[in-house]
């Protein structure tokens, strides 16, 4: 297996999950540079997009050229979902992904995200509206169901396929599980059996071994990687090499790693502006230092640095393991 049969080429079928506050343009660009079948934006609320709420356009900003890019939309009404889909398609999105999987209370209380699994008939009106609104592929990301008494992902997947959805991604948990327990990859197999379109497995895929087991248990056509990619933007390319015979990525180490982290930091400062970027970038620096096993005192210095210039200087020491060892 080397690709997913969509109008765009998803080779390799290893996708970056949409993650709020994480998969912004700088991070998507970095992950894509190592190699990914598709990178997905942070979830964008359709109403926010149409009303130009601060931050919504930035989350969906593309700028990736030929790189496979999906913009994930969330909402609870068909007309705004369709109009937002037309808007981001006009901005250059290659895929529109509909969010029916977010478990956050602020989303489900607004009858969006995984709350739509409780009202399948209504959810289908959103899917149908988005499919009719754009000429690009529409995909769906959802969970196994609302809870263990309502595991209706196979039914929703069948109906979504009939409505024109071209790929389904399933997180192997119910909404009420949030991120607790273990993802049930075997339960994804029922969705795979229910449809003829590609199915992507998601949940607890953090390395090549877990990706392999997820594919074995689910029978899925590919995998979507989320939290495991934090601090490891090359992870998707590693999985693609191990499972789909792609070229092995060159994983930066020592000075090269430090320079990559510094470049990512500077890209975030340019994207968000100095004040917001300085704050937003801290979590990424923390994840990189987890990967580098940065000593606690150095980590503390980086995360409490008073300005951008000092942070850039300290990041070099924090992530250049060779320099730390030599010292």
Cα–Cα distances (Å) from 222 to 15, 161, 208, 240, in that order, read: 8, 17, 12, 10
Question: How many residues make up the chain in this entry?
Answer: 327
* Single residue among 176, 210, 244 that ends a domain in this structure: 244
| Same domain for 297 and 237 | no
* Single residue among 193, 211, 244 that ends a domain in this structure: 244
Annotated catalytic, 292?
Answer: no
Q: What is the mean pLDDT of residues 132-161?
A: 96
Q: Which residue in the list 102, 176, 292, 319 is annotated as catalytic?
A: 102
Buried-exposed string 270-300: b where 16+ CB fall within 10 A, e elsewhere: ebbeeeebbebbbebbebbbeebebeeebbe
What pLDDT is recorded for position 121? Answer: 95
Q: Name, in order, each residue with C-beta under 8 angstroms of 308's C-beta and a sequence gap of 6 or more.
A: 269, 274, 277, 278
* Single residue among 213, 244, 275 that ends a domain in this structure: 244
What pLDDT is recorded for position 19? Answer: 92
Domain that holds residue 61: 14-244
| Same domain for 121 and 186 | yes
pLDDT score of 1 more than 70: no
| Same domain for 30 and 110 | yes
Cα–Cα distances (Å) from 65 to 34, 38, 92, 186, 216, in that order, read: 15, 13, 8, 36, 33
How many distinct structural domains can be found in the chain? 2
Judge whether 2 lies within some domain: no
| Same domain for 238 and 291 | no
Q: How far apart are CA 160 and CA 140, in angstroms?
A: 8
| Same domain for 227 and 319 | no
Question: Tell me: the pLDDT tens digits for 284-318?
Answer: 999 999 999 999 999 999 999 999 999 999 998 89
């Amino acid at each position: 297996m080397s690709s997913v049969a969509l109008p765009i080429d998803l080779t390799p079928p290893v996708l970056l999950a949409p993650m709020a506050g994480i998969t912004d343009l700088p991070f998507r660009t970095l992950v894509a540079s190592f190699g990914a079948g598709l990178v997905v934006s942070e979830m964008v609320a359709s109403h926010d997009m149409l009303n130009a709420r601060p931050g919504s356009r930035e989350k969906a900003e593309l700028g990736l050229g030929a790189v496979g890019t999906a913009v994930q939309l969330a909402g609870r009404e068909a007309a705004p979902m369709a109009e937002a889909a037309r808007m981001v398609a006009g901005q250059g999105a290659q895929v529109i992904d509909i969010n029916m999987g977010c478990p956050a209370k602020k989303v489900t209380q607004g009858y969006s995200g995984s709350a739509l699994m409780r009202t399948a008939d209504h959810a289908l009106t959103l899917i149908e509206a988005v499919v009719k609104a754009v000429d690009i592929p529409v995909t769906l990301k959802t969970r196994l169901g609302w809870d263990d008494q309502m595991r209706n992902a196979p039914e929703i997947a069948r109906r979504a396929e009939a409505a024109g959805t071209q790929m389904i991604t399933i997180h192997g948990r119910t909404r009420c599980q949030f991120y607790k327990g273990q993802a049930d990859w075997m339960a994804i197999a029922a969705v795979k059996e229910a449809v003829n379109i590609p199915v992507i497995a998601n949940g607890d895929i953090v390395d090549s071994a877990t990706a392999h087991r997820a594919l074995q248990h689910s029978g899925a056509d590919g995998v979507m990687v989320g939290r495991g990619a934090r601090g490891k933007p090359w992870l998707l390319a590693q999985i693609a090499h191990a499972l789909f015979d792609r070229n092995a990525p060159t994983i930066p180490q020592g000075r090269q790693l430090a320079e990559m982290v510094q470049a990512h930091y500077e890209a975030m400062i340019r994207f968000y502006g100095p004040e917001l970027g300085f704050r937003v970038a801290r979590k990424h620096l923390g994840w990189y230092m987890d990967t580098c096993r940065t000593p606690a005192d150095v980590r503390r210095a980086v995360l409490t640095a008073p300005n951008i210039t000092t942070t850039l200087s300290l990041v070099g020491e924090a992530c250049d393991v060779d320099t730390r060892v030599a010292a």
